[in-house]
Amino acid sequence: MHKTLKRYFPIFVLPTLSVFAVLFLVPFVMGVFLSFTHFKTVDSSEWVGLANYIRIFTTDKTFMNSLWLTVRFTVVSVISINVIAFSVALLLTRGLKGSNFFRTVFFMPNLIGGIVLGHIWSLIINGILAFFGVDITYDPSYGFWGLVVMMNWQLIGYMMIIYIAGIQNIPDDLSEAAAIDGASPAQTLFRITIPMVMPSVTICTFLTLTNSFKLFDQNLALNGKSADTALLALDIYKTFYDHTGLKLDQWHGEGQAKAVIFFLIVALIAFVQLRATGRREVEQ
Amino acid sequence: MSSIEFRNVNKTFDGGKVTVIPNLSFEIKDKEFVVLVGPSGCGKSTTLRMIAGLEEISGGELYIDGTLVNNVAPKDRNIAMVFQSYALYPHMTVYKNMAFALKLKKTPKKEIDEKVMWAAKILDLEPYLNRKPRALSGGQRQRVALGRAMVRNPKVFLLDEPLSNLDAKLRTEMRSQISLLHKRLETTFVYVTHDQTEALTMADRIVVMDKGIIQQFDTPEKLYSEPANLFVAGFIGSPQMNFIEADLTRRGNNLKAVFNGNEIIIPEEKARKLSSYENKSVIIGIRPEDFSLAKNGKDSIEIEPEITEMTGSEINIYFRLDGNRYIAKIKSDLKPDSLRTLYLKPDIRKLHFFDASTTRAIVH
Amino acid sequence: MHSKKRNLFNWSIYAVLIILSAVFLAPILIILLNSVKGSFYIADSPFTLPDSETFTGISNYIKGFTQSDFIQAFFNSVFITVFSVAAIVLLTSMTAWYIVRVKNIFTKALYYLFVFSMIVPFQMVMYSLTYYAFELNLNSKPGIILIYLGFGAGLSVFMFSGFIKSIPAEIEEAAIIDGCGPVQTFFRIVLPILKPTAITVSILNAMWIWNDYLLPYLILGSGNDKTLPVAVQMALSGGYGNKDMGALMAMLVLAVIPIIIFYLFCQKYIIRGVIAGAVKG
C-alpha cells in the first residue's frame, strides 16, 4: 500500500507543500536573515551583524517598554481570566436549569473579531470616561486596564467551555466518595476538583498566555491612538510601518530583529508548556 | 493445478534487518480449507497478507492459480479478505458495504443488486441492509464482512482470525456457519487463527507454524495422531500432551522405558524403530485422554493426585512426577477418592517418542 | 432545613449568573441601542435609551452601508473565507493522510515543520511575506487564499494527522482489496470518516480568517478588495471629531450580526471544536 501511495506525492503533498514553502518557510528564513541587516526592501539589504539587536536593548526604549507592558498584561490577564472562567464553570456544572443559556451567552464574545471587539470597547470605555471629561488616551493605565477588561470579556467564555468539559470528566464516584468521607464543599473543591482538572488548567493557561502575549488587533483598535500602550506585536508593526524617510532601512532591520526575539519568546513559552503538560499528564 | 503455491518465499522487515519468514514453500489445493495456526508472532498473518498482496514478498515466488503474483496488485488477484476487526466502512450501509467492490468495477446496478441480495439471504442479513455498522452486533458485523467477500466471487477467501472478537458461544455458531459456507461456495479458504480447536474442527489441512517456519502441514487427524515434532505435539490437543524424559533399556526380550522408578514395556512395532536409541534417553509423549485407571501397579504409574477437576463427563487429574506437573483425563463414572494413591495406565499404543535433541518424532 | 438552605444557595448562584450575563451582553446591547440614535445624541449621552427625540430608525444603517463600501467588504470577506477554508480542508487533509500513511524520514520532518509553523507569530514573517506576495502578484483575492493556505496549513495538518492516526489501517486495506487506488481510497473512504475533524478544522479556520485584520490590510489594502475587519478599522479610526457616530455604531452592529447568526446555527460544532482544539493543544 505504501509503495503505491508513495508515487502519489505530487497529488497529495506537493500543492500544500509548495504553497507552505514559498509563502511561509521562505519568508521565515528571510526574516531571520534580514534581522541581521539594514534593509529598505527585501532585495536591498546590508549586513550589520548584531547591530539591530543591540539597538533594541539599549538606545531604542520602545521595545523594552512594550515587552514589559506585554508581560504585565499577560500575567494579569492569565490570572483574572482563568480564575473567573473556572469559577463560572463551577457554577455551570451543578446541573442548574438554564446552564446552557448562560454558556451560550458567555461564549459568544469569543467569536467577535479583534478589530470589531476593540472598537466596541473603545466606544464604551470612552463613553464612560466622557463623564469624567477624559478619554482612553488620557492615561496609559486606562488603556492598559481597558485592554484587560476587554481580554477578559473575550476569553472567559472560551476557557469556561474547556473547564466545564474538564469538570464533567471527573468521575462521579470521586465526589461521592468524598461526600461519604465527610468532606466539606471547600475541601472537595481543593482536594478533588482542582487536582482532577489540572490538564484543563494547563491548556487554558497556555491558551490565555499565548493569546495575550501575541495580541494585536484589539490593541490596535482600542489603543491605536495612545502613545504608550502598544504591546509587543503592535510595537513591531509600528517599527516597520510608522516610520518614513531616512533611516528606513534601519527601522526595518530593527523591526525584524524585534520580530525574531518575539518569536523566540513565544517558542520558549510553548516549549516550557509542552514539558510541563507532558510531565503532569504522566502523573495523572 | 494448485490454488496457491509458495516457492522459497522469504519475508524481511526493516530493510532486511529482521527476517520474519526465512523460507516458505507449500501448496494449497483448489477448493481446500486450509488453516494457518500457531502462536502469536509465528508469521501466519504475514503469510496470509502476502497472499492478499498487503505485504510485499521479499524473496521467492508466490503463485495464485498458476500465475506469478509477486507484483500483482491486490485488486487484480481475485481474492477477498475478512479481517479480525471486520473493517466495515462505517459511513456506508450494510448494502453499500457489500456492493462497494462491484460498484468500483462498474458492474451494472441490477447485477449488483442480485449478488448482494443473494449473499444477504445466505447470511440472514436481509433485515439489516439499510443499517450502518455501528447499529449492528459483533456477530452481525462479522456476517457483513463475509458477505462483502462473497459478493465478489473470488478464487480465494482469506480470513484473518475472524472469530477472535466474538464471545465463546457466538464463536462456536459462526465456526459452523463458515464451514457450511465453504462447502456451499466450493472455493479455496485460507484461514488464520491462534486457536487450535478452530483449526482442528474446520480445516481440511492445517499448517502449523512457529517462528516463520512450517512445523507440519497435514490433516487434523494426522497432526493429532502423528505430530512431527515436540512443538506440534504440544500445540495441538487440549489439554496439552504430557512429555517426560525416559531412558530406554533392554531387559531380556523387552525394550523398556524407565522414568521415575516406573517402567513401561514398549510394544514390539515401536521397539523396532527405537533400536538405535537403546541406552539413550528419549522424550515420551502421551495425551491426557490416553490414560485409564488401573487397580494395581502392573504396567501403570503410581501417582498421588494434586488436584482433581470434574468437567461433566470427565475428571482431570493433575499430578506430579519428579517435580513436573502432568494431566490425565479419565471418564468420570469411575470415581476415585481424590486423596488416595492412584494407578494410571497409559495406553501404550498411543505413546509418542521424540528425539530429545532434534525434537523430531521418532515413532508413534 | 437543608433544602431551604440549598434553595437559597441556588438562587444566589442564579443571581450571580444573571448579573454576569447582563455584564456580558451589555456591550452589544449598548452598541445596538446607540445604533438607532442620532449621531449627536450618541456622543452626548451614550448610555441612555433611545426615545422619541433621539430615535432615528434605520437611517444610521443606510448611511453605514453606503459610506464605507460595507457591502463590498462583506462579500470580499465571504469570498475569501469560504474559498480559503475549502482549499485548506481539502489540501491539508490529503497531505496529512500521506504523511501518516507513508512513514519515512521525509514525512516525519515535514510533520514537524508543520507543527513548528503553528508557533511562529505573524509579525515574524509579516514583512518578507508581504514583499513576496507582491512580487508574485498574489495581492488579490485569489492570491490571499493561497497565503492563508500557506500560513494555515500547519494547524490543519496537525489536527488531521491526529485523527487519521486513529483510523484503523484495516479499513483502508479492505478498500484496497475491494479495488480502490490511493485517490479513491482517500475520497471514498478516508474523507467521509474524517467528516467530524473536517468540520472542526473548517470552523477554526473560518473564525480566524473571517476576523483577520493585519494580513488582508497588508496584502489587499483599503481599496475595493478590503475585507470587513479592515473596513471597520478604516471607518472607526478616522480623524477625531468629524466621525458619524451613528453610522459607525450601525456598522459595528452589522459586523457582529453574521457572527452571531453563524454561532447560533453551529454552536454544537463550535464548542466541539473548542474542546478538540484544547485537547490537541
How far C167 CA lies from chain B's nearest CA (Å)?
10
Using beta carbons and an 8 Å cutoff, which residues of C are at the interface with B?
A: 168, 170-171, 173-180, 184, 189, 192-193, 195
- The arithmetic mean of pLDDT across residues C182-199, rounded, is 92
Judging contacts by C-beta atoms under 8 Å, the chain A residues touching residue B56 are 3
Does C169 lie in the same domain as C153? yes
User: Is A27 in the same domain as A167?
Assistant: no
pLDDT exceeds cutoff 90 at B144: yes
Which residue does chain C place closest to A156, by CA atoms? C24
* Ranges of each domain in chain B: 2-235, 242-363
Question: Phi and psi of A8, rounded to 5°?
Answer: -90, 15
H helix or E strand, kind and range, residue B171: helix B168-185
Among the partner residues C110, C124, C153, nearest to A262 by beta-carbon distance: C124
Confidence class for position C68, pLDDT limits 50, 70, 90: low
Which has more pLDDT, C257 or B131?
A: B131
Closest Cβ opposite residue C232 in set A6, A119, A236 = A119
Assess if residue A50 is contained within a domain. no
Say what the pLDDT of residue A235 is: 87
Q: Is the pLDDT of residue B117 over 50?
A: yes
Match 473556572 to its residue by C-alpha cell: A86
Residues of chain C neighbouring B105 (CB-CB closer than 8 A): 179
Out of C176, C192, C193, name the one closest to residue B75 (CB): C176
Domain B242-363 has what CATH class? mainly beta
Mean pLDDT of the region A173-190: 79
Interface of A with C in 83-142 (CB under 8 A): 88, 91-92, 94, 96, 98, 102, 104-109, 111-116, 119-124, 127, 130
Which long-range contacts does B66-70 make (Cβ < 8 Å, 24+ apart)?
B66/B1, B66/B2
Of the candidates B117, B176, B116, which has an alpha carbon nearest to the alpha carbon of residue B151? B116
Smallest Cα distance from C152 to chain A, Å: 9
pLDDT at C232 over 50: yes
- Phi, psi angle pair for B356, to nearest 5°: -70, -30
Quote the minimal CA–CA distance from C195 to chain B in Å. Answer: 10
Q: Least CB-CB distance to C179: which of B88, B91, B101? A: B101
> For a pLDDT cut of 90, what percent of chain B falls above it?
59
Mean pLDDT computed over B249-278: 82
Q: Encode pLDDT of C71-106 as tens digits.
A: 888 889 999 999 999 999 999 999 999 999 988 899
Confidence band (pLDDT; 50, 70, 90) for C241?
A: very low
pLDDT, average across residues B77-81 = 93
Q: Are residues A137 and A15 in the same domain?
A: no
Containing structural domain, residue C172: 68-237
Same domain, A29 and A99: no
Whether B75 sits inside 8 A of C178 (CB atoms) is: yes
State pLDDT tens for residues A39-48.
888 778 888 8
Q: Compare all CA atoms of chain A with the CA of C116 and give the residue at the minimum distance.
A: A267
Q: Quick check: helix, strand or coil at residue B208?
A: strand
Q: Please check whether residues C175 and C103 belong to one and the same domain.
A: yes
A157 and A247 in one domain? yes
Please give the pLDDT value at position B339. 57
Between CA B35 and CA B38 the distance in angstroms is 10
In a domain, C281, yes or no: no
Pick from C121, C244, B167: nearest CA to A213: C121
C180 with B104: Cβ contact below 8 A = yes
Residues of B with CB under 8 A from a CB of A: 54, 56, 73
Please check whether residues A22 and A157 belong to one and the same domain: no
- What CATH number is attached to the domain comprising C106? 1.10.3720.10
What pLDDT shows up at residue A24?
Answer: 92
Q: Is residue C152 over pLDDT 50?
A: yes
pLDDT of residue A284: 40
Pick from C10, C32, C62: which residue ends a domain? C62
State the cell numbers at A271: 516549549
What residues of chain A, 161 to 220, have a C-beta less than 8 Å from chain C?
Answer: 161-162, 165, 200, 203-204, 206-207, 214, 216-217, 220
* Beta-bridge partners for C228: none
Q: B57: pLDDT confidence band, cut at 50, 70 and 90?
A: very high
- A257 to chain C nearest CA, in Å? 9
Whether residues C8 and C124 fall in one domain: no
> Using alpha carbons only, what angle is made at residue B260 by residues B254 and B266, rounded to the nearest 5 degrees?
20
Q: What integer pLDDT is reported at residue B168 of this predicted model?
A: 87
Contacts of B81 in chain C (CB under 8 A): 173-174, 177
A265 located within any domain: yes
The answer, yes or no, to whether residue A100 has pLDDT greater than 50, is yes
Contact assignment for B81 to C179 by CB distance below 8 Å: no
Give the pLDDT of residue A280: 54
Mean per-residue pLDDT over chain C, rounded: 83
Overall average pLDDT of the B259-287 stretch: 85
**Could you tell me the pLDDT band of residue A282, with boundaries at 50, 70 and 90?**
very low
User: Which string of DSSP letters, residue by residue, matches chain A?
Assistant: -HHHHHTTHHHHTHHHHHHHIIIIIHHHHHHHHHTTEEESSTTSEEE-TTHHHHHHHTT-HHHHHHHHHHHHHHHHHHHHHHHHHHHHHHHTTS--TTHHHHHHHHHGGGGS-HHHHHHHHHHHHHHHHHTTT--TTS-HHHHHHHHHHHHHHHHHHHHHHHHHHHHHTS-HHHHHHHHHTT--HHHIIIIIIHHHTHHHHHHHHHHHHHHHHT--HHHHHHHTT-SS---HHHHHHHHHHS--STTHHHHHHHHHHHHHHHHHHHHHHHHHHHHHHHHHHHH-
- DSSP one-letter string for chain C: -HHHHHHHHHHHHHHHHHHHHHHHHHHHHHHHHHHTB-HHHHHH-TTSPP-TTTB-TTHHHHHHHHHTTHHHHHHHHHHHHHHHHHHHHHHHHHHHHHHHHS-SHHHHHHHHHHHHHTT--HHHHHHHHHHHHHHTT--SHHHHHHHHHHHHHHHHHHHHHHHHTTS-HHHHHHHHHHT--HHHIIIIIIHHHTHHHHHHHHHHHHHHHHH--HHHHHHHTTSTT--HHHHHHHHHTS-SS---HHHHHHHHHHHHHHHHHHHHHHHHHHHHHHHHHHHH-
The amino acid that residue B82 corresponds to is: V
Q: Looking at residue B254, what is its pLDDT?
A: 81
Q: pLDDT per residue over A235-256, tens digit each? A: 888 888 887 777 788 888 888 9
Domain count, chain C: 2
- Tell me: do A17 and A136 sit in the same domain: no
Residue C277 lies in a domain: no
Highest mean predicted confidence (pLDDT) among A189-193, B277-281, C37-41, C50-54: B277-281
pLDDT of residue B135: 93
Residue C52 sits in the same domain as residue C84: no
* Closest CA–CA distance from residue B333 to any residue of chain C (Å): 50
Q: Above 60 in pLDDT, residue C221?
A: yes
Question: C193 with C132, same domain?
Answer: yes
Which subunits count as partners of chain B given 3+ CB pairs below 8 Å?
A, C
* Percent of residues, chain A, with pLDDT higher than 70: 96
Residues C9 and C112 in one domain: no
Return the bridge partners of B302, or none: B343
CA distance C185 to chain B (A): 11
- The two most distant CA atoms of chain C are separated, in Å, by 77
Residues in chain A closer than 8 A to B53 (CB atoms): none
Contact A1 B54 (CB under 8 A): yes
- Give B210 to chain C, closest Cα distance, Å: 24
Contact (CB<8Å) B83/C178: no
If you average pLDDT over residues B180-192, what whole number do you get?
93
pTM of the full predicted structure? 0.84
| Chain C neighbors of B75, CB-CB under 8 A | 176-180
The answer to whether ipTM exceeds 0.90 is no
pLDDT higher than 90, residue B116: yes
What pLDDT does C268 receive?
Answer: 80
Question: Are C35 and C76 members of one domain?
Answer: no
Which domain, by its residues, includes A25? 2-34
Q: Do A3 and B56 touch (CB under 8 A)?
A: yes
Same domain, yes or no: A29 and A78: no
The CATH H-level (homologous superfamily) assignment of domain B2-235 is: P-loop containing nucleotide triphosphate hydrolases (3.40.50.300)
pLDDT at residue C200, as a whole number: 84
Among B102-116, B318-332, C41-55, top mean pLDDT goes to B102-116
Residues in chain C within 8 Å Cβ distance of A15: 91
Which range of B229-238, B337-346, C43-52 scores highest in mean pLDDT? It is: B229-238
Residue of C nearest to B150 (CA): C178
Which chain A residues contact residue C132 at CB under 8 A? Answer: 22-23, 26-27, 42
Subunit contact A153:C24, Cβ cutoff 8 A: yes
Query: Tell me, what's the pLDDT at C240?
Result: 46
Decide if A13 touches C, using CB distance below 8 A.
Answer: yes
Q: Does the residue C104 lie in any domain?
A: yes
Does A9 reach chain C within 8 Å, measured CB to CB? Answer: yes
Stretch A27-31: mean pLDDT = 92
Pick the last residue of a domain from C25, C43, C62.
C62
Q: Are residues C162 and C231 in the same domain?
A: yes
Nearest to C224 by CA among C74, C64, C85: C74
C220 assigned to some structural domain: yes
The residue of chain B with its CA nearest to that of A1 is B54
Mean pLDDT for C64-68 is 65
Mean pLDDT value of segment A158-176: 84
> Which residues have C-beta within 8 Å of that of residue A271, sequence separation ≥ 6?
none
> What confidence category does residue A75 fall into, taking pLDDT thresholds of 50, 70 and 90?
very high
Facing residue for B87 by CB, picked from C173, C180, C195: C173
Same domain, C126 and C197: yes
Mutation site, C167, C178, C195, C199, interface B, largest B CB count within 10 A: C178
Distance from CA of A234 to the nearest CA of B (A): 48
pLDDT of A2: 65
CA-CA distance, C214 to C220, in Å (whole number)?
10
Can you tell me the mean pLDDT for A68-81? Answer: 93
* Local structure of B198: helix, strand or coil: helix
Q: Has residue A237 been placed in a domain? A: yes
Note whether A9 and A105 are same-domain residues: no
Chain B residue nearest residue C170, CA to CA = B87
CA distance C112 to C269: 28
Q: From the centroid of its chain, how far is CA B83?
A: 18
Query: Which one has a higher pLDDT value, B323 or A212?
Result: A212
pLDDT for residue B119: 94
Residues 31 through 70 of chain A touching chain C, CB cutoff 8 Å: 31, 34, 41-42
Mean pLDDT of chain B: 89
Question: First-to-last CA distance in chain C?
Answer: 46
* Residue C258 falls inside a structural domain: no
* CA dist., res. B353 & res. C261, Å (int): 83
Q: Do A116 and C151 touch (CB under 8 A)?
A: no
Q: What is the mean pLDDT of residues B265-281?
A: 84
CA distance B303 to B110: 71
If one counts the domains in chain A, the total is 2
Among A122-126, A182-186, A259-263, C61-65, the range with the most confident prediction by mean pLDDT is A259-263
Say if CB B354 and CB B282 are below 8 A apart. yes
C170/B89 touch (CB, cutoff 8 Å), yes or no: no
Q: Is the pLDDT of residue A283 over 50?
A: no
Residues A26, A66 share a domain: no
